[in-house]
């Protein structure tokens, strides 16, 4: 887990050099997890509270497996985060992993999807409220293979 100083540096656009994990919801309330490879754009709302950020990570990590991950991408060398998230019900995205280019505005690409999706209402109220700050109102994760995050 990143420190609060690293979290604040990321909020200011400084690349810590590793994945920053963050979460959002779609128009149907399904939850997705995103990894930014240390470079990609992250919605500003993610940086509103370090304590809620760490609580959210802990909550996601403590979810029971409810199904399995259906991979739609070729599994990269390190794939366990996305597989674990999807087995727990999250749609899983990595930033532009297919291109190998470090351009922050490239889209996030769906790696795998859950067989049993998690709805944001199944999470504790504080975590659900924090995740819902990043809402993709015009998207549905089952159909969203690529997602661009506005600057």
Q: What residues make up the domain containing 120?
A: 4-147
Model-level pTM greater than 0.95? no
Residues 38 and 18 sit within 8 Å (Cβ to Cβ): yes
Per the structure, the count of domains in the chain is 1
Secondary structure (3-state) at 93? strand
Q: How many angstroms separate the CA atoms of 41 and 104, rounded? A: 6
The H helix count followed by the E strand count for the chain is 4, 7
Question: Could you list the mean pLDDT of each consecutive 10-residue stretch along the chain, which spans 151 residues?
Answer: 86 73 97 88 93 97 96 76 96 77 80 97 98 97 92 61
Predicted local distance difference test score (pLDDT) of residue 39: 74
């Amino acid at each position: 887990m990143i420190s609060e100083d690293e979290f604040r540096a990321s909020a200011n656009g400084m690349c810590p050099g590793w994945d920053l994990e963050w979460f959002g919801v779609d128009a149907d309330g399904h939850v997705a997890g995103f990894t930014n490879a240390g470079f990609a754009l992250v919605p500003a709302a993610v940086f509103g509270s370090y304590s809620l950020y760490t609580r959210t990570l802990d909550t996601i990590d403590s979810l029971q497996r409810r199904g399995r991950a259906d991979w739609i991408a070729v599994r990269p060398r390190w794939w366990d985060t996305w597989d674990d998230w999807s087995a727990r019900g999250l749609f899983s995205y990595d930033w532009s992993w297919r291109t190998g280019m470090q351009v922050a505005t490239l889209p996030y690409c769906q790696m795998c999807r859950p067989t049993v999706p998690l709805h944001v209402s199944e999470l504790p109220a504080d975590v659900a409220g924090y995740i819902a700050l990043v809402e993709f109102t015009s998207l549905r994760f089952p159909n969203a293979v690529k997602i661009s995050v506005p600057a």
